[in-house]
Amino acid sequence: MKKTYAIINYGCQMNESDSEHYAGQLLDLGYEASADYEHADVVVINTCCVRENAEKKILGKIGEMKRLKRENPDMVLCVAGCMAQEWGKDLQKKYPQVDLVLGTAHVNNFSSILQNHLAGHGRAESVYDDLTIMPQEFEGSFVRKSSFAAWVPIMYGCNNFCTYCIVPYVRGRERSRSAEAICHEIEKAVALGYKEFTLLGQNVNSYGKDRGEEEGFSKLLELVDAIPGVERIRYMTSHPRDMSEAVVRTIAESQHICKNFHIPVQSGSSRIMKAMNRGYDRERYLKLVETIRRCVPDAVITTDLIVGFPGETEKDFEETLDLLRTVEYDDAFTFIYSPRKGTPAAGFGAQVPDAVKHERLDRLMALQNEICLKRNKRLVGRTLAVMVEGPSKSNPAMLSGRTDGNDLVLWPKIRDHAPGDLVNVKMERAQTWLIRGKEEA
């Protein structure tokens, strides 16, 4: 019988991409994927430490593995990702059931670390103290979750040091992959039938700056847009401070880059933006929105918002609500501020009470829900190209897919379509989080 592996993933899209790399290396070593992690030979827990609740959940899962290791001492337990980078050797001291601790820069040499462990060299902690080191290029097989959409890391790390964020401390400084390596990876994926590509980085607008390249991201977008077989290009995440007009114009003039701009503002108050070390104020942010609307009139604009940052007053929060009314985001990902040990904001005074945070979040979400419905209603009556994702999970008689602007669409299945097919769907009824439509003949 072949040996099996299971990967338990937490966190962002970069973590999802990293997990695909771990899976590919295990496949190349002869392991088969298994949904039954309790009986797998190798278990990788890919961790996130951006928010306290996520970290508590992950520690609970690691604790659960103590029983499984007792029942199966030959099981190899690897804890990887941002929490592994943050904790280092302390993770194995507190949780002796952990065999391998794999830092963020080791994602692409997991295979050799695992083989070294299996050769009898014992438990290992592989965490770089120097996070300026560039992860080696990935040479293994890919085990992608999607049959048509692929994550493609273009850079690692972040130089921004927002006061609430742990990422620069666990992902390191910005390091860009070469454009040649990125395009080669995409060309190989196209040859396997992949059609949609999401370019990943903590701040994609900084791509190439560590190599001394001016407008590196806009040039990379042009290169990827020209690759035959690429049908859609997305990217995340953008930092508003670094998004240039050249990038906006490249997107406007492109053939395949989706007109969906995700520009996380985090707060509508210039005072709070400054405390967060965001590098822009309200006025500058609104000028970026104006540039996007001018260059791409049908742009879909989404954002991230943090409620209850230390020192946030009712006036600051009202400025955030006002920003939502001004911009009219198509969607917003909203979060309650969670102090993270090791970040400057965790030591700030004037921490906002939890009850106030939750009350403000409720008001924020209520307003954004109204705006989401209004923005979706504007699409009713239009026929849009929708990329099929597959049958709806709640109703197999319906197909689901996404527009260029990443709007979720459901429509009755009248003919078979494979995931990745583009289908013309007439938008008929708007809801807060999706649009219902009808496939055109």
Residues forming the annotated binding site? 12, 48, 82, 158, 162, 165
Do you find a cis peptide bond into 237, omega within 30 degrees of 0? yes
Nearest to 410 by CA among 438, 383, 384, 375: 438
Nearest to 428 by CA among 405, 412, 406: 412
Distance CA 7, CA 37 (A): 8
Nearest to 47 by CA among 37, 35, 62: 62
Binding annotation for [4Fe-4S] cluster: 12, 48, 82, 158, 162, 165
> What six digits make up the tokens of 257?
């880059």
The CA–CA distances, whole Å, from 236 to 246, 363, 370 equal: 17, 27, 25
H, E, C per residue of the chain: CCCEEEEEECCCHHHHHHHHHHHHHHHHCCCEECCCHHHCCEEEEEECCCCHHHHHHHHHHHHHHHHHHHHCCCCEEEEEEHHHHHHCHHHHHHCCCCCEEECHHHHHHHHHHHHHHHHHHCCEEECCCCCCCCCCCCCCCCCCCCCCEEEEECEECCCCCCCCCCHHHHHCCCEECCHHHHHHHHHHHHHCCCCEEEEECCCHHHCCHHHCCCCHHHHHHHHHHCCCCCCEEEEECCCHHHCCHHHHHHHHHCCCECCEEECCCECCCHHHHHHCCCCCCHHHHHHHHHHHHHHCCCCEEEEEEEECCCCCCHHHHHHHHHHHHHHCCCEEEEEECCCCCCCHHHHCCCCCCHHHHHHHHHHHHHHHHHHHHHHHHCCCCCEEEEEEEEECCCCCCEEEEECCCCCEEEEECCCCCCCCCEEEEEEEEECCCCEEEEECC
> What six digits make up the tokens of 333?
């990902």
Distance CA 328, CA 160 (A): 26
